[in-house]
Amino acid sequence: MSTKHPIIGITGASGAGTSTAVKAFMRLFAEMGVRGALVEGDAFHAYDRVQLRRTLERARIRGENFSLFSPAANLLERLEGLLREYGERGTGMIRHYLHRDDEAVAAHQAPGTFTPWQRLPPDTDMLFYEGLHGAYVGDEVNIAAHMDLLIGVTPVINLEWIQKLKRDTDERGYHPEEVTHTILRRMPDYVNYIVPQFSRTDVNFQRVPLVDTSNPFALREIPLAEESLVVIHFNDYSRLNADFDLLLREVPGAFQSHAQTLVVPGPQQERAMELIFKPAVQRLLEARDLARAA
């Protein structure tokens, strides 16, 4: 971790809804005049779309399990190198993965490919990572160790599947059967590599639907925010100062279900995020300024 060049990480599986947390931070950064360097975890996949399909087919023929949740399918050493370099000097190399056709057209490339590696913009205030492995810890790589603040986004599993099915079919052109197969194929890696990360975060946001999601593979509509509650849990040794009195006062409908857990109505999730994240960002900036002035 670096005081002079702070790093914030959001971790969550595909379809978890991490974009909600990203939007909350982007609004905060704009409001506070923070220049953030956004790093997408997808940019550190080891394979483009064509390469991945070939690799998956080879794994199927060999009877092997393989998914993008696995460290072996990602350039995690390179990601750790970026985080280390940014923490030390505020610099590093990034690229982007082009998911959608409009992104690919704008980049003059095929969808499912990576843009060339390029240097981060100069003079950013902090780095902001969003992806699958923000709190990953392994024998060779420790991504979590470089984070000054870690946020987990992990809806109940049926809702996560519904969100992935909806996104991948509507936005990325996959058939429902393809998405279902991907979910099943990823399950061992989800259990082994994704789930443990949520014990290393400072806070987790878990959306819980209040409507029937018992068969997520038949339900094609994502439950509305109004049909959900969000469980906000501050982990042991969290670096966040959870001001429950403020949250209960300022977030309509909020209640405390546990000594370290707050529950808010779905439409109030972003409000709760902003109240939790703003003082944390402010503390990181103040510590940065003191370190740079020393």
| 37 and 96 Cβ atoms separated by less than 8 Å | no
CA distances from 291 to 4, 160, 175, 184, 195 (A): 6, 40, 52, 47, 35
Where are the extended beta strands (E) located within 180-283?
Answer: 203-209, 228-234, 255-258, 261-265
Q: Pick the range with the lowest mean pLDDT from 64-73, 150-159, 162-171, 200-209.
A: 162-171
In this predicted structure, what is the pLDDT of residue 219?
Answer: 66
Angle between helices 176-189 and 157-170 (to 10 degrees): 140
Q: Pick the range with the lowest mean pLDDT from 57-66, 173-182, 184-193.
A: 173-182
State the chain's mean pLDDT as an integer.
Answer: 92
Is residue 226 scored above 90 in pLDDT? Answer: yes
In this predicted structure, what is the pLDDT of residue 217?
Answer: 86
Residues in CB range of 21: below 8 A, 6 or more apart: 10, 130, 151, 153, 205, 273
Average pLDDT over residues 149-158: 92
The percentage of the chain sitting over the pLDDT mark of 90, rounded to a whole number, equals 72
In this predicted structure, what is the pLDDT of residue 171?
Answer: 73
In this predicted structure, what is the pLDDT of residue 1?
Answer: 60
| 8 and 257 Cβ atoms separated by less than 8 Å | no
Q: Which residues pair with 10 in a beta bridge?
A: 130, 151
Distance CA 115, CA 48 (A): 10
Between vectors from CA 32 to CA 147 and to CA 253, what angle results, nearest 5°?
A: 80
The dihedral sign for the CA sequence 204, 41, 220, 193: negative
In this predicted structure, what is the pLDDT of residue 83?
Answer: 97
The pLDDT confidence band at residue 163, using thresholds 50, 70 and 90, is confident
Q: Pick the range with the lowest mean pLDDT from 103-112, 131-140, 166-175.
A: 166-175
In this predicted structure, what is the pLDDT of residue 162?
Answer: 86
Is residue 120 scored above 80 in pLDDT? Answer: yes
Q: Is 152 helix (H, G, I), strand (E, B) or coil?
A: strand
232-248 pLDDT, tens digit per residue, is 999 999 999 889 999 99
Task: Single out the residue of 294, 240, 279 nearest to residue 4, CA to CA.
Answer: 294
**How does DSSP classify residue 65?**
-
The pLDDT confidence band at residue 183, using thresholds 50, 70 and 90, is confident
| 219 and 168 Cβ atoms separated by less than 8 Å | no
The pLDDT confidence band at residue 16, using thresholds 50, 70 and 90, is confident
- Phi and psi at 231, nearest 5°, equal -90, 120
Task: Single out the residue of 274, 100, 225 nearest to residue 170, CA to CA.
Answer: 100
